[in-house]
């Protein structure tokens, strides 16, 4: 199992290094308001890209209709300012029902 140990160690150290960049730089490097603005925008861009690829794709291909249909319902509910639990459960229920009934 030394292969698993090597993999876990490399992944853990590398991931922690990524995560430490922000907290370590904070207070040491003064970022211009413009850069800070871009960092915040960048976080939103990443999150939207994650949700788009997560909603539509699986393993590089199309994820099927049930999942994006559920996420679309979540989008509509969120647009109407439905409470957070309603948005999330709405997506899961729609996707589960579409699959259970064989509709998508």
Partner 1 sequence: MRSLLRTPLGPARGSLDTSLVRDSSLVWLASGVVGVSFGAISVAGGLPVWVPVVMSLVVYAGSAQFSAVGVLLAGGGPVAAAATGLLLNTRTLAFSLAVADILGQGRLARLLGAHLVTDETVAFALAQSDPARRRAAFWISGLGLFAVWNLGVLAGALAGDALGDTGTYGLDAAFPAVLVALVLPALRANPAVRRCALLGAGLALAVTPAVPAGVPVLVALAGLVGHGRGRGRTA
Residues 48-87 within binding reach of partner 1 (CB under 8 A) = 48-58, 60-61, 63, 66-67, 70-71, 74-75, 78-79, 84-85, 87
Residue 25 is a binding residue for partner 1 (CB under 8 A): yes
Count of residues binding partner 1 (CB under 8 A)? 72
Residue 104 within binding range of partner 1, rule CB under 8 A? no
* Contact flag: residue 46 with partner 1 (CB under 8 A): yes
DSSP for 35-95 reads HHHHHHHHHHHHHHHHHHHHHHEETTEE--SHHHHHHHHHHHHHHTT--HHHHHHHHHHHH
Which of the 8 DSSP states describes residue 29? B
């Amino acid at each position: 199992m030394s292969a698993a140990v090597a993999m876990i160690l490399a992944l853990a150290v590398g991931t922690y290094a990524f995560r430490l960049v922000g907290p370590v730089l904070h207070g040491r490097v003064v970022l211009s308001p413009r850069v800070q603005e871009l960092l915040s925008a960048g976080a939103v861009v990443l999150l939207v890209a994650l949700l788009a690829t997560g909603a539509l794709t699986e393993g590089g291909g199309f994820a099927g209709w049930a999942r994006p249909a559920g996420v679309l319902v979540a989008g509509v509910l969120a647009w109407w300012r439905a409470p957070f639990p309603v948005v999330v459960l709405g997506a899961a229920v729609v996707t589960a029902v579409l699959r259970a009934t064989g509709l998508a």
